[in-house]
A and B are shown apart, each in its own frame.
Chain A
C-alpha cells in the first residue's frame, strides 16, 4: 500500500515538473541564418570603364534581378559612345533574411581581350566610299542636284523635287528620313526604317 507521504511526494514531483514545463521557454531563434549579400536598386550613367566594376558588383549581389537595362547614351548606329545608362531593379525574397555585409564572392573578375562595351565610330566618309553597295534612295520625283558650300564652312545640298529645287542641310528631314551627311556627289540618308541609303 502506498502511504500518504508517498502520494504527497509524487504530487510535489508532478507539480514541480508541470511548473518547470510551463515556464520553459523554447529556443525558437528567428531564421537569422538566411544571410544574403544585398544592394539597393540602381539607376545611373556610367563610363564603360566603370561599368565593368559595377556589373561585377551587381552579379555578386545575392538578390534576384527583376529587370536590368544597359543602354548606350546618345546612340546612333555609327557612333557607339562609351557612356551607358544602367538601371537595375532587384526582387528581394519573401522570407525574412539579414543582409550579409561580410560576403566575399569567390568568382574571379572578367578578363578578356575584346570589350563589348567599348566605343566605336564609323566615319560617314568611310560609308560613302562604299555608296555603290548602299541601297539607293528612290522616291518619285527626288533627284540630287548639287552641293553648295557656304562661306562659314557649312554645306547645303540641293535636290530636285519634281520641278522645284529644294535646299537641305545636315540633320534636316526629307519627309520622314534624316539627312546624315552631304557630299560632293550625293547625300547620305538614314531612313525611318533604320536603313542607310544613298542619293546620288
Chain B
C-alpha cells in the first residue's frame, strides 16, 4: 500500500499518498456504536453525541431517525456527571459490564478531548466486542488551531500533513488563504470583508481565485509573500486589493503593496480600493509609485472593474 494513492470520500478524487500503515488486531464485534465530542456553539459548552447506529455517517442517522441520536451537554467547569452517562447507556441499551466499560471509555475520551484541545473527537464505530469490551475502531479528530501554542507536537504533526504547498506556505507566513477556482486574485484585510469581496465578485459575474486575509499588521514583506501566493496560481488574470484602513493605515499598506508588487514581480493588472484611515496619503503613495494601478474608491465600481479585466476587457 505504501507509496500508492488512496482515494476516499475525504481525500477527493485525486486521493492522498499513503505514507504510513497502521496494523490493528482483529476485533470480534458484537455491536457498533457512534460516539463523538464537539463544541456546541449555541449553548457555549462541550457536548457528547451518542448513537446505537455506529458505522454510518451521523448526518445519515440524523436524516433517517433523529431520535436515535442522544446528546448530553457538558458544563465546562464541572464536566460530565455520572447520571448523564447513565442516561446514555440506558438509551443505547447497554447494561452490566458493558455499561461500565462504556462509562470508563467515555470518561477517558472526554479527558483526551479536553487535554488535546480538540474541536471534534468522533469515534465511529465504537465497537462492543463479544467479550464485552469497548474498543475504538476508528477516530476522526479536529484540533483547535488556536491551541497550537500549547499542543506543539500535535500541531507540528498536523502541519506536516498539509499536502498542499500553497496552504503550507500561507500557514508559515501567517495569512488566512483559501484557494478557490476563479481567476481574480484577492488581497483583503479582515475575514468578513475578505469573504464579502469573494461574494461581490461572484454577484457581479466574476470568480475569485482565492480568499485572503492579510491581517492587521501587513508590512511589505507580508504583502509580498501574500502576492506570491496569489501569483503562483496560473489561473489568476488580475489582482483585486480591497483594504479598509482601521488600525492598518492606508499609507502603511500602500507602501507595503508597492514594495510587495515589485518584490513579487507582479505584472498583472491590479485594481486597488483603499479607504479608511489615511486614505489620501495612501492614494498619494500609490500615485507616486509610477505603477499602472487602477484605483477606485467605490466597492462596486472597483469589483466590476476587476470582473471586467478578468473576462478579457478593461
Q: Do A and B bind each other?
A: no
- Residues of A at the B interface (CB closer than 8 Å) are none
